[in-house]
Amino acid sequence: MSDSADITPSGPFAAVILAAGKGTRMKSARHKVLHPIAGKPMLGHLMDELATLTPKKMVVVLGAGREEVEPFVTERGAAVAVQEQQLGTGHAVLQARGALAGFDGMVLACFGDVPMVRAETVARMLHRLQADEPACVVLGFRPDDPLAYGRIVADASGRIEKMVEYKDASDAERVVTLCNSGLIAAKADDMFALLDRVGNDNAQGEYYLPDMVMVAQADGRHSAVIETEPWEVAGINSRAELAAVERDWQERKRADAMAEGATLVDPSTVWFSHDTKIGRDVTIEPQVRFGPGAKVADGATIHAFSHIEGASIGEGCSVGPYARLRPGAVMEKGAKVGNFVEMKKAVLGEGAKASHLTYLGDATVGANANIGAGTITCNYDGFFKYQTEIGAGAFIGSNSALVAPVKIGEGAIVGAGSVVTKDVEADALALARGEQSAKPGWAKKFRDAMRKKKAQE
């Protein structure tokens, strides 16, 4: 949900992403930055957003658990730097110096657990860095409750007069509502030269990234702050904070979907993935969840309690209620799946219907075919998957089992309750069930016998 389509940096830049922390508060075997938001690891959100600005280099600083994160980072073309000892955020940025050797552009230092930063905001930081040549540009925000965040004292133009940690702030400084997000941009030479001079004379004995602003000020150089919304710089250190960022992301996505012409009957109950695509005049009823890779074309209706992942839903289609579309499911224009229908790697042709209690897996269903209630494609023998082909206009009777590989020709009819193991020609009737027989009076004799036996016990 980036607003960065027409925003570009004012010069070459590199991004240094800090992700060396242990994330112990997550209480998880998974590295903190790999925990997902809307189906994508939080680090992926940040890296993909920054990539829209085409940085010259991207360096991710890793530490504990780096063997888990490194493949994810390198797949996205980023370099890895290692912080062996956790000596603070300033020390962490210094570990990227080797990876940026020879680079003389601008450097953004940001955090893998602050994943919602927009490319537009980064571009504004970089523009400000070149506008009046401050030593650093800091990203600030004004939360509803400043709590114990570090404060930024700045004039009306954004020139920083002082940055102070809450515990060191005076009563007058604590009244200031502009807080420090921790994100900083500087020219590469300045970034590393200033950090080399940052000390660790503090309670934690660590080298803090924001202290470079005060080092620059001691040299008579000014720094600047730009502001953004609090949600954009929300950090994630616990499961509760992860849930809060997910909630905020979902609320923005729902608002975007409605602004673009979709109807969400009960917005708070609809959950999107990071890549969900919704057309206009789509109606989404309550309790619908989209997994990754879902696309819904104009005019479709998604009824309540449906789950859609890796599926493409065509114009004017109807899904659910209680339907499940798994990866590879394709519904062409005007197709319908009803309650308790599941599709996986299957194509439902234009105008085709599977209205109730059906499984379509590894199947192709032609236009205007009708799949009766309880029909299943038997696509798996325990070792391999097989295809079922159902021709246009075919009619599959209720409670039929189509044992793949099998082809049902165009216009063919499969009688209800059939187990079809051989191909059916076009326009043919296929019946594959035992012949019905009847024994008059047998049921009464059976009941009488059972009652007598029960009475004797």
Catalytic residues: 356
Nearest alpha-carbon partner for 139 in 169, 171, 116 = 116
Cα separations (Å) of 284 from 11, 61, 288, 308, 386? 43, 41, 7, 12, 33
Q: Are 205 and 187 in contact (CB under 8 A)?
A: no
Cα separations (Å) of 182 from 112, 195, 457? 12, 14, 82
**Coil, strand, or helix at residue 190?**
helix
Structure-token pair, residue 24? 């112990």
Residues in Cβ contact with 358 at an 8 Å cutoff, skipping those fewer than 6 apart: 337, 340, 341, 342, 371, 372, 373, 374, 375, 376
DSSP 435: P
Q: Which residue is it, tokens 């993935």? A: 273
Structure-token pair, residue 340? 């308790």
Question: What gap in Å lies between CA 154 and CA 142, rounded to an integer?
Answer: 13
Question: What gap in Å lies between CA 282 and CA 316, rounded to an integer?
Answer: 8
**Coil, strand, or helix at residue 326?**
coil
Q: What is the dihedral of CA 415, 418, 421, 424, to 10 degrees?
A: 0
